[in-house]
Chains A and B, each alone.
Chain A
Amino acid sequence: MSSHAAARPVRRPFFSRGTMVVATVAAIGIATYLARMVLGLEKVTNLSNPYPWGIWISIDVATGVALAAGGFTSSALVYIFGHEKYHPLIRPALVTAMLGYTFVVIGLLADLGRYYDVWHPMLPSMWQGNSVLFEVGMCVMVYLGVLYVEFVPIAVERFRGKVALPGALSALNRLLEGVLRLADVTLHRFLGLFIVAGVVLSCLHQSSLGTLMLIAPTKMHPLWYTPVMPAFFLMSAISVGFPMIIFEGTLATRSFGLQSELRLFAGLARIIPFFLGIYGMARVVDLTLRQAWHLLWPLTPVTLSFATELVGGIFLPLLLFLLPRVRKSPTGLFVAATLVVLGVALNRVNVFLVAYTPPFADQTDFPSVFEVLVTAGLISTLVLVYRGIAMVFPIFEQPEHGS
């Protein structure tokens, strides 16, 4: 594993002006989160009987899972398809996926009416094999474990032989050192297995997230409701993987003052149109076969949202990624990648919220300010933890320190 020998912790002050803003949002969000845990859903959210799911499901969970797709797409690219040159992108993508899924679980806890019973699906006596949600839950849980295992070698690399806890905790030093050594000698034998498992599990639950709404045909707008929704969810997850790597890679390298991975990004940008194109084509064919195009008219906020998702989130970035000029420019790449990321996020919100119209709704569902605060807070906390991890662990490749 000499190819990422150059990955080192980022040396920078943790707090900058931007970080302070993010930290404030995070603090408010965490406080709101705790308030929700104590007060219950009814006081804090606008969720109701007709609209049982809000932005916590559509953004924190569904979008969170989709945007963590950089993890499995990059490891498939490097480890399964053998494109070694992209190795420097693996670790940042892994951290994004690991934190993404961790925050999916934290966000899901807020949404569960009885979050203290979240362990129930683990008991075989309560397994319900017919439930799509059960499949999603199990997959996400196992995949989260796999992601942490994939992270272990990074922790070993950083801390093996260097464990030195201060004060009373120093009693644990030897134990931790032993654990790290054990992990070091055993893990590399199985790591391949975990990597393949990670890719397979991702494909499974990315698609079954799209199956969740199949059970509610009468409540979903026909522009979105199609039996191939699971395939669309998988295709869009695969198409958003690399754009997400470009998106967060650009932000991270700028914020850390590192050299941009432009050469690698440009390489990814040549692959993206392939996946994005297949996804876009599939959406068009689906609408045509179902003879659903006419539903776009008359224009309402709902149909506009559909059009935006399709044009702004798929076809515009597809066009951009096809232009060599865009692929050569960091800004061009960033804009195109951001469009794909926002497009997929909009798709998840559309499917879980916008397309959903219960037949007996007496009110419309608009997220309460607290729901928004929690979501914003979770995203901000994720960004802060990401920053912290990049400063402690060898995630980003960079030249010798001091340059």
Chain B
Amino acid sequence: MKLAASASGTVLASTAGASEGPPPAAAQGVLVDVTFCVGCRKCELGCNQVNDVPKRDRLSFEDKSVFKVHRRPDATALTTVNQLPPREPGGPALFTKVQCMHCVKPACASACIVGALAKQPEGAVTYDAWKCIGCRYCMGRGPRSRPPRGTIQHAVFKGFVPPIALYSLLGLIMWSGRRERRDQEGEAGHE
């Protein structure tokens, strides 16, 4: 379970450098257990609906042919689900989603020349498009190459809403205070 969580790279995952040090006390978090992920792309749909990105038809998210290529998040899709090769031949397909990890110590925010990227007390790393000058120093630096800014792409994170939790099948994505979640996950890790 621990391993799965880090592979998914969400807030709880401890990717080197991304989450060193304690998170803010009030930080919220999303736990993703990718061992349950069936590649339904509902998280992509939720992401598309609440974020300031070009809206896409609901049905387009049913399309499984997108798994043919590995997709990275960009300005039109802040969350992408990818299919990975099975662990052993003939085994079940593996899926995992990619999105901004809202790092505890965000490299992107420390890079930004004007403070357009900022760590909020609730844990979100937000982007203030008005401040951004489009230098793209943030893009090359963060571990996840968060969707870029400037005229190449405009990706706007408006606060921290975890809509994906609403859409999730099987309850594999859960939303709660980050501290509690980590305690629970710690127990799960001992099972």
Report how many residues on chain A are interfacial, defined by Cβ distance under 8 Å. Answer: 36
CA distance A114 to B132 in the complex (A): 8
- Tell me which of A117, A132, A133 contacts B134 (CB under 8 A): A117
Write the B89-125 contact mask toward A (1 if CB under 8 angstroms, else 0). 0000000000000000001001111111000000000
Contacting B at CB under 8 A, from A78-135, are 111-115, 117-118, 120-121, 126-128, 130-134
Report how many residues on chain B are interfacial, defined by Cβ distance under 8 Å. Answer: 31
Given contacts A41-B150, A114-B151, A121-B114, contact A216 B141 (CB under 8 A): yes
User: Does any Cβ of A come within 8 Å of B148's Cβ?
Assistant: yes
User: Does any Cβ of A come within 8 Å of B74's Cβ?
Assistant: yes
Write the A302-318 contact mask toward B (1 if CB under 8 angstroms, else 0). 00000000000000000
Task: List the A side residues contacting B136 at CB < 8 Å.
Answer: 47, 52-53, 113
Given contacts A52-B136, A113-B134, A113-B152, contact A215 B111 (CB under 8 A): yes
Task: List the A side residues contacting B110 at CB < 8 Å.
Answer: 130-131, 215
- Tell me which of B135, B145, B151 contacts A42 (CB under 8 A): B151
Q: Shortest beta-carbon distance, B26 to chain A, in Å?
A: 22
User: Does any Cβ of A come within 8 Å of B1's Cβ?
Assistant: no
Q: Shortest beta-carbon distance, A8 to chain B, in Å?
A: 42
- Contact check, B143 vs A113: say whether CB atoms are below 8 A apart: no
- Tell me which of A41, A50, A117, A219 contacts B133 (CB under 8 A): A117
CA distance A338 to B112 in the complex (A): 36
What residue of chain B has the Cβ atom nearest to residue A356's Cβ? B140
- Contact check, A52 vs B139: say whether CB atoms are below 8 A apart: yes
- Contact check, A127 vs B115: say whether CB atoms are below 8 A apart: yes
Task: List the B side residues contacting A41 at CB < 8 Å.
Answer: 134, 150-152
User: Does any Cβ of A come within 8 Å of B131's Cβ?
Assistant: yes
- Contact check, B114 vs A126: say whether CB atoms are below 8 A apart: yes
- Contact check, B133 vs A121: say whether CB atoms are below 8 A apart: yes
Task: List the A side residues contacting B70 at CB < 8 Å.
Answer: 360, 362
- Tell me which of A113, A120, A218, A362 contacts B114 (CB under 8 A): A120
Contacting B at CB under 8 A, from A220-237, are none
User: Does any Cβ of A come within 8 Å of B72's Cβ?
Assistant: yes
Task: List the A side residues contacting B116 at CB < 8 Å.
Answer: 126
Q: Shortest beta-carbon distance, B126 to chain A, in Å?
A: 14
User: Does any Cβ of B come within 8 Å of A49's Cβ?
Assistant: yes
- Tell me which of B107, B114, B145 contacts A358 (CB under 8 A): B145
What residue of chain B has the Cβ atom nearest to residue A214's Cβ? B141
Q: Shortest beta-carbon distance, B180 to chain A, in Å?
A: 30
- Tell me which of B134, B141, B148, B153 contacts A112 (CB under 8 A): B134
CA distance A336 to B137 in the complex (A): 35
Most buried by A among B112, B113, B149, B152: B113
- Contact check, A126 vs B115: say whether CB atoms are below 8 A apart: yes
User: Does any Cβ of A come within 8 Å of B29's Cβ?
Assistant: no
Q: Shortest beta-carbon distance, A222 to chain B, in Å?
A: 16
User: Does any Cβ of B come within 8 Å of A212's Cβ?
Assistant: yes
Given contacts A47-B152, A131-B110, contact A120 B74 (CB under 8 A): no
What residue of chain A has the Cβ atom nearest to residue B147's Cβ? A49
Write the A181-225 contact mask toward B (1 if CB under 8 angstroms, else 0). 000000000000000000000000000000010011011000000
- Contact check, B152 vs A50: say whether CB atoms are below 8 A apart: no
- Tell me which of A49, A114, A218, A356 contacts B143 (CB under 8 A): A218
Q: Shortest beta-carbon distance, B171 to chain A, in Å?
A: 29
- Tell me which of B69, B111, B131, B143 contacts A131 (CB under 8 A): B111
- Tell me which of B113, B148, B149, B151 contacts A40 (CB under 8 A): B151
- Tell me which of A49, A132, A212 contacts B139 (CB under 8 A): A49
Task: List the B side residues contacting A367 at CB < 8 Å.
Answer: none
- Contact check, A131 vs B112: say whether CB atoms are below 8 A apart: yes
Q: Shortest beta-carbon distance, B17 to chain A, in Å?
A: 8
- Contact check, B135 vs A113: say whether CB atoms are below 8 A apart: yes
- Contact check, A52 vs B140: say whether CB atoms are below 8 A apart: yes
- Contact check, B113 vs A113: say whether CB atoms are below 8 A apart: no
CA distance A182 to B74 in the complex (A): 55
Task: List the B side residues contacting A132 at CB < 8 Å.
Answer: 111
User: Does any Cβ of B come within 8 Å of A137's Cβ?
Assistant: yes
- Tell me which of B115, B145, B151 contacts A128 (CB under 8 A): B115
Write the B142-179 contact mask toward A (1 if CB under 8 angstroms, else 0). 01010111111100000000000000000000000000
What residue of chain A has the Cβ atom nearest to residue B72's Cβ? A360
CA distance A42 to B26 in the complex (A): 39
Given contacts A131-B112, A216-B140, contact A360 B145 (CB under 8 A): yes
Q: Shortest beta-carbon distance, B137 to chain A, in Å?
A: 5
Most buried by B among A49, A130, A133: A49
Q: Shortest beta-carbon distance, A28 to chain B, in Å?
A: 22
Query: 19 A-B pairs, CB-CB below 8 angstroms?
Result: A47-B152, A49-B74, A50-B72, A52-B136, A52-B139, A111-B135, A112-B134, A113-B132, A114-B132, A114-B151, A120-B113, A121-B133, A128-B115, A131-B112, A133-B111, A137-B113, A218-B143, A358-B145, A362-B69
**8 closest cross-chain pairs (CB), A and B:** A113-B150, A113-B134, A52-B136, A114-B134, A128-B115, A52-B139, A126-B114, A113-B151
B residues in contact (CB < 8 Å) with A: 69-70, 72, 74, 107, 110-116, 131-137, 139-141, 143, 145, 147-153
- Besides A113-B135, A117-B134, A121-B113, 16 more A-B contacts (Cβ < 8 Å) are A40-B152, A41-B150, A49-B145, A49-B147, A50-B145, A112-B135, A112-B150, A113-B149, A121-B114, A126-B114, A128-B112, A128-B114, A131-B110, A131-B115, A133-B137, A134-B114
